[in-house]
Amino acid sequence: MELVDLTLFLTGLSLTVALDNGLLRTPPMGWMAWERFRCDIDCTYDPKNCISEGLFRDMADRLVEDGWKELGYEYVIIDDCWVSKQRDDQGRLQPDPTRFPGGIAKLARYIHDRGLKLGIYSDMGSHTCMGFPGTTLDKIEIDAQTFASWGVDYLKFDGCYSNPVEQMLGYPQMSKALNATGRPIAYSCSWPAYLGGLPPNVNYSLLGEICHLWRNYDDIQDSWDSVQGIIEWFASNQDVLQPAAGPGRWNDPDMLIIGNFGLSVEQARSQMALWAIMAAPLIMSNDLRNLDNWATAILQNKAAIAINQDPLGIQGRRLVQEKSHIDVFWRPLSNSASALVFLSHRTDMPFLYHTSLAKLNYQPGNYMVYDVFTSSTVTRLKASTDFTVSINPTGVVM
């Protein structure tokens, strides 16, 4: 009972909430180190790929020079393993001196000079998930002030090595501490993921008041099984999760792994399509220096990005789950538009799926239809007219 009681107690607190700073009215877009580069700290033998200031400068350069920034990909986010094993004499976190010799403030200037924003990682336990110094309750204010003084724009606050009571206190406290710095800092909470992601353990009303986005579920891995498992968990629990999302408060199914090793072209399109439907953060974790053209084309698809960034900010839903292993997802968009995704969980051959807009709850009338990944257009489709889509195995039509 302690968990639920404390949640109710916190809901009644007068909080200076993170949402006061008006950030992330659409889901954040950018690049994060973790899924692709993990905790590679071996800069002697792997200098190009280790967690170091050079890696983040490289990615900032690529975001600007290869057309990502102009499409909205603006955050460069450091994950675990950046911090020194010891705090400094004033008790502040400091970066590893050999891998970040210039310090974080200098790296932030480099990133800001390119019109980008810097994100950083901390953990509200005794240690980060990989065993580096954490941000315990007594260190929350000094760490928030340190991040602000460095020019940080985004904090991912993890929850390893902490217990539910510490999380209950620490996540709202960090929200308040970030606000008190006077610097607009987007705040990503991993809190729900440590509580199973669902009520009654997770209070999504409270989360929406203190965090801009939150991790609900397991870490993504570089495989279709992982992506498919995440899609299924979010769809199965959509009645709870969908209402929690909106401008300035987003569910986060984790990073885009398009362009790594585990997804085919079809599966990469499926991840992009479903993350757009779910109004999910578009935070890539890949090597932007060595990206195949097909991966770049999917991640830079302007229609998919526009759907994801729709200003209404309404998360989509699964409408239909067929015995034939076809799912249909729908998201309402501004200007009376909407997005449909037909997802195949099949692994045999392309599947011909027959339906009509009327069967998918559309009002009578004529509709213009645009295919996101082929760019083809149908100008007048009657809601009552049957149509057929051919969906490749593990692929989508959007």
As annotated, the active-site residues are 158, 219
- Backbone φ/ψ region at 311: left (φ over 0), alpha (ψ -120 to 50), beta: alpha
C-alpha distances in Å from residue 259, one per residue of 35, 95, 253, 298, 365 = 12, 29, 18, 9, 40
Task: Give me 281's structure tokens.
Answer: 């953060």
Q: Answer yes or no: are the C-beta atoms of 94 and 87 closer than 8 Å.
A: yes
CA–CA distance, 64 with 58 (Å, rounded to integer)? 10
Residue 297: half-sphere exposure toward Cβ, Cα within 13 Å: 10
Altogether, the residues listed in the chain come to a count of 398
What is the SS3 assignment for 347? coil
Beta strands in 245-397 (DSSP E): 250-252, 282-284, 317-321, 326-332, 338-344, 351-355, 366-370, 377-382, 387-391, 396-397
CA–CA distance, 310 with 293 (Å, rounded to integer)? 26
CB proximity list for 166: less than 8 A, separation 6 or greater = 124, 125, 136, 137
Provide the residue type at 200 as one letter. Answer: P
The DSSP secondary-structure symbol of 316 reads: -
Task: Give me 112's structure tokens.
Answer: 């800001």
CA–CA distance, 217 with 192 (Å, rounded to integer)? 7
Provide the residue type at 101 as one letter. Answer: P
Q: Smallest Cα–Cα separation from 8: which of 217, 205, 211, 237?
A: 205
Query: ∠ CA(282), CA(288), CA(289), 5° rounding?
Result: 175
What is the SS3 assignment for 131? coil
CA–CA distance, 215 with 46 (Å, rounded to integer)? 30
